């Protein structure tokens, strides 16, 4: 049942991302908590979403370039981490999040390849619409647009649960087999979030970006330390 829910969330995210609404619901910062919520672990989704958003802040469809499919990657990572956390009885920890990204983060790249294939396939729909118009069926021709959303839905609905299943299969085995790995993996997660923040800054391509990023980070650390830190 959980994997069916993951499939539906991933499919709807694929439609929202490029076809309907485009209201940021398929961005990692929203999609990870949504995935966590529907699987019963909102805090787990909130742990993963912000770093993934910063990591993929530059994943935008400009001109003919295709970005990584951050929505597919996010659902696969979050679902894998949440379900693995539930299997372990710990919820999502930084170690589980780190392993989930290591195992299925590549789905974002796989998703870019499938996006390209889908775009090429969907070109046929325009020819179909022209044919319907020539046969005097304008309403059917216009509705052809909606069929273009089916393939992204189906591909994401298949890939995301499959990838999550891999994470659920591997992560409990690793953390049960090597319990001492949890703390070092927590450090790995810390390093990954640092790179994610830097990637976020770079995505803005601001001329003063490096200075603003470094200054804001230093100021936040100073204020945070004065306030007694964050837990």
| Maximum alpha-carbon separation in the chain | 73
Residues 127-186 that bind another protein (CB under 8 A): 129-130, 133, 136, 138, 141-146, 148, 180, 183-186
Both tokens of residue 16? Answer: 């929202």
Residues 192-211 that bind another protein (CB under 8 A): 192-206, 208-210
Q: How far is the CB of 224 from another protein (least distance, A)?
A: 4
- Please report how the helices 42-55 and 182-203 are oriented relative to each other, as an axis angle in degrees rounded to 10: 50
Which of 12, 77, 79, 108 is close enough to bind another protein by CB under 8 A? 108
Residues 33-72 that bind another protein (CB under 8 A): 33, 42, 46, 49-51, 53-58, 60-63, 68
Which letter does DSSP use for residue 24 in this model? S
Spatial separation of the C-alpha atoms in residues 122 and 45, rounded to whole Å: 33
Spatial separation of the C-alpha atoms in residues 200 and 194, rounded to whole Å: 10
Q: How far is the CB of 111 from another protein (least distance, A)?
A: 12
Which of 105, 111, 161, 172 is close enough to bind another protein by CB under 8 A? 105
Q: Which is nearer to another protein, 99 or 160 (CB)?
A: 99
Q: How far is the CB of 171 from another protein (least distance, A)?
A: 14
Q: How far is the CB of 80 from another protein (least distance, A)?
A: 15
User: Residue 68's Cα: distance from chain center in Å?
Assistant: 10
Spatial separation of the C-alpha atoms in residues 197 and 57, rounded to whole Å: 9
Q: How far is the CB of 39 from another protein (least distance, A)?
A: 15
Spatial separation of the C-alpha atoms in residues 6 and 86, rounded to whole Å: 15
Spatial separation of the C-alpha atoms in residues 121 and 195, rounded to whole Å: 36
Does 225 bind another protein (CB under 8 A)? Our answer is yes
Does 216 bind another protein (CB under 8 A)? Our answer is yes
Q: Which is nearer to another protein, 59 or 79 (CB)?
A: 59
- Please report how the helices 70-88 and 150-177 are oriented relative to each other, as an axis angle in degrees rounded to 10: 40
- x-marked contacts with another protein along 111-130 as a string, rule CB under 8 A: --------x--xx-xx--xx
């Amino acid at each position: 049942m959980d994997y069916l829910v993951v499939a539906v969330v991933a499919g709807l995210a694929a439609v929202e991302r490029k076809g309907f609404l485009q209201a940021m619901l398929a961005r990692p910062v929203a999609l990870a908590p949504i995935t966590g919520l529907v699987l019963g672990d909102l805090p787990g989704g909130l742990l993963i979403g912000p770093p993934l958003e910063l990591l993929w802040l530059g994943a935008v469809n400009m001109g003919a370039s295709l970005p990584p499919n951050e929505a597919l990657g996010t659902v696969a990572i979050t679902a894998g981490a949440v379900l693995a956390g539930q299997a372990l009885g710990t919820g999502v920890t930084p170690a589980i999040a780190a392993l989930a990204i290591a195992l299925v983060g590549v789905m974002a790249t796989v998703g870019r390849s499938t996006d390209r294939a889908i775009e090429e396939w969907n070109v046929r729909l325009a020819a179909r619409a022209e044919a319907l118009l020539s046969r005097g069926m304008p309403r059917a021709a216009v509705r052809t647009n909606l069929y273009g959303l089916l393939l992204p839905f189906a591909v994401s609905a298949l890939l995301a649960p499959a990838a999550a299943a891999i994470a659920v299969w591997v992560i409990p085995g690793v953390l049960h087999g090597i319990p001492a790995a949890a703390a070092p993996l927590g450090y790995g997660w810390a390093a990954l979030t640092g790179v994610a923040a830097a990637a976020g800054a770079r995505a803005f391509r601001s001329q003063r970006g490096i200075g603003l990023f470094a200054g804001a980070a230093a100021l936040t650390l100073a204020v945070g330390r004065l306030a007694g830190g964050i837990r």
